[in-house]
Amino acid sequence: MAGKYGKERVMRFFGIPVLVVSLAAVVATADEPFPLTAAEREGAAVVPVPTVSQGSDLMGAGALMLEKREADRPFWETTAFVSSGRWRSEWRESTPESVTLTMLAYGTPQDIRTGWTRFDGNPLVCATDDPHATARSLLLPPGGVDNGANDPALERGTGPYRDQWMLFYCLGPWAYYGIGFSVADSLEPLKAGVNPFRLVEGSHPYVDPKHRDTPFAKACSPNDWLFVDGRWIIPVEGLRRNAEFEFVNMIWTATGDMTLTKHEAIETNGHDPGICTDGTRFYLFNEDDHSIACCSADDPTGPWKDEGVVLDVGGHTGDADVLFFNNRWHMVFDDGPHRRYLIGYAWTTPEEFPRGWRLENKVFGPEDPWEQPTEAGNKFGTGDGDLAVDGDTLYMVYERPIGIAWKELEVYRDEAVTAVMTVEYDRDGDGRAEASQTVELWPGKDLAYRLNPPPEGRCRFTFALTTEDPSVSPLIKDLVMGEDTR
């Protein structure tokens, strides 16, 4: 039967039938830290979302998982997890009647080539005059088709846009009409066919076209956005003023409330730069003919060190976007002849970053009529992909103008990982458990377990985690205690 909690399943605590229900329809998972404090642990820890992921990972605001084998190094710097771990909470001075949680297999390899769903209202953002505009497209104020958006970057908002999403873009080729952004409260409405993005005061344009150029370069167009340590880091591509078709990288910065500062040109040539950080250094990834080249710096305003070519794509490329999530570094980039673009993909491990990329050519290409590189289409194809993760969904925006697609990450398979939750009860407060309940956990989203606590006393939780694959860990998050027995 279906009760008020949604879809039901039955499991057993020491032979006693206990109802297990899926709350996907009625319980929203909050981005709150893990609600229990550890009393003791070995090989397992509550890990906050790593800064290197730009807030886009699978951990929520904090998740319980196995430690890395090299525990003295930051979480994102190693790949291999210990094979087992145990984490026990402090005593909790009340006893819930139910627990809900999400468990997934963090680090499960992904098939990036399949499973994409395009927003059926694409283009997501385009010029008012664009012939491919739909009833659900966000139409930019009049200014001609060349006023359309390109070079997109999808990022979590900051300052007045905290807890929202910001979609940055250039307006027209080389940002000829300026630089703008739009804002969405959530990305989830896209799956129901609703475009959540809107313009806000000061977003169109955010940078007026007459303020776009600098003393060092003309035709300055941002290609990526990274928020770290309280400021936006914005790699900008420009044409050096004193040389014909010589590209130069610049770094602009902006505060959380979007106050912009333009810094001097970086003393390195660069085309279509993407940026990321591993928590220690910053990395720029630039087009280099048929390859992606890298340079790095301790500070994003320089000086920068040339790291050389890190990926040979085998054909025209550029517009690299790099993001850490699911225990790997991921890169998407242009992959195909000029104006006949597809999107390519590569991944590498934290140990090998910024090198060691495994290449997969042409994983995403024109499908809808407006994406076709023809006179009747957009004359461009699909290029300049930019990745973001929200919950367990991977999103990608691309041009031109701007479309969006998503795929559900395959993180609920349970071949490699297991977890056991034990709830102990101390009825008389002497620090010893007089009763307990144990349940095997399986990967799943918004799972709920009804408990059978005593009428009084306190409880504590123990989680035992194991993995057969050192690159994959059980991950437990969105732990919510139900109503207490008193």
pLDDT at 13: 35
Instruction: Say if 444 falls within a structural domain.
Output: yes
Claim to verify: residue 438 and residue 390 sit in the same structural domain: no
pLDDT at 50: 87
**Ranges under pLDDT 50 in the chain:** 1-30
pLDDT at 219: 82
DSSP assigned state of 110: -
Instruction: Say if 426 falls within a structural domain.
Output: no
Claim to verify: residue 99 and residue 180 sit in the same structural domain: no
pLDDT at 15: 36
Q: Alpha carbon of 105 to those of 59, 110, 326, 340, 414: distances in Å? A: 11, 12, 9, 37, 7
| Amino acid letter, 65 | M
pLDDT at 144: 61
Closest to 470 measured CA to CA, from 87, 66, 57, 41: 66
In the chain, how many domains are there? 2
Instruction: Say if 427 falls within a structural domain.
Output: no
Alpha-carbon dihedral 362, 363, 367, 372, rounded to 10 degrees: -30
Claim to verify: residue 268 and residue 395 sit in the same structural domain: yes
Among 392, 408, 424, where does a domain finish?
A: 408
449-468 pLDDT, tens digit per residue, is: 999 899 889 999 999 999 99
Claim to verify: residue 336 and residue 441 sit in the same structural domain: no
Claim to verify: residue 219 and residue 300 sit in the same structural domain: yes
Claim to verify: residue 439 and residue 356 sit in the same structural domain: no
Claim to verify: residue 153 and residue 302 sit in the same structural domain: yes
pLDDT at 326: 96
Claim to verify: residue 239 and residue 302 sit in the same structural domain: yes
Instruction: Say if 422 falls within a structural domain.
Output: no
pLDDT at 302: 86
Claim to verify: residue 59 and residue 150 sit in the same structural domain: no
pLDDT at 268: 66
How does strand 125-127 pair with strand 138-140? parallel
pLDDT at 145: 65
Claim to verify: residue 349 and residue 325 sit in the same structural domain: yes
pLDDT at 2: 29
Token output for 367: 């499908």
Vertex 316 angle, CA 315 and 320, to 5°: 110
- DSSP lists the bridge partners of residue 160 as none
As a whole number of angstroms, the distance between CA 270 and CA 295 comes to 10
Q: What Rg value do the Cα atoms of the chain yield, rounded? A: 24
Question: Could you list the residue range(s) of the whole structural domain that residue 27 is in?
Answer: 8-107+412-416+434-481
Instruction: Say if 126 falls within a structural domain.
Output: yes
Claim to verify: residue 221 and residue 308 sit in the same structural domain: yes
Claim to verify: residue 475 and residue 386 sit in the same structural domain: no
CB of 384 closer than 8 Å to CB of 152: yes
Instruction: Say if 425 falls within a structural domain.
Output: no
Q: How many helices (H) and strands (E) does the chain have?
A: 0, 34
Backbone phi, psi, residue 190, to 5°: -55, -40
CB of 284 closer than 8 Å to CB of 321: no
Q: CATH number, domain at 164?
A: 2.115.10.20
Which residues 6+ apart lie within 8 Å of 408 measured at CB?
A: 115, 392, 393, 394
